[in-house]
Structure 1
């Protein structure tokens, strides 16, 4: 397992993802985003948490499926993202810089 420096404290990748998840959950609650019992948010809420437009997130999904997603309600249903997957994506992007 690799690790990275974070505010002069050595932390593992999994600890970084967990900390990022905690921050995303807090941000979602402060913004009054609806979070499902299994930790999912809507596409528009996920985009807001990532700081991108919903259309950008949709394009990523269609082009690369970089972040795991789930469609609820069939082909025309609602797309959701797990906060844990968003946190993992954020931390993976941080490591590649």
Structure 2
């Protein structure tokens, strides 16, 4: 039986939190956000890749703050959702909606 998308995302968020506990310099905010560099490490891409994805309107949803929108952060749920959107099952994309809950 296939796990519902919301459950898969929740499980992936838990796994991401565990990975963050092992990083000495990782900071997780009270509302489950991480900075760009930490998000890049979790996704195993270069920080510049996240920058490019943002410019192209791709990648996980993000938050931008500051006078030049230069302080970018990512919520763990959005990173997990992005990961799960790339899942394939039986050779077919197992795409989930943008609001699985």
Runs of 4+ in 1 over 4 A off after TM superposition: none
Q: Cα RMSD over matched residues? A: 1.6
Question: Can you give the 5+ residue segments of structure 2 that lack an aligned partner in the other structure?
Answer: 95-101
Does residue 1:69 correspond to 2:62, yes or no? yes
Alignment of 1:49-60 (within 5 A): 49-60=42-53
Question: Can you give the 5+ residue segments of structure 1 that lack an aligned partner in the other structure?
Answer: 1-8
**Mean Cα deviation higher: 51-60 or 68-77:** 68-77
Does residue 1:21 correspond to 2:33, yes or no? no
Larger strand percent: 1
Residue correspondences, number: 89
TM-score, scaled relative to structure 2: 0.80
TM-score, scaled relative to structure 1: 0.83
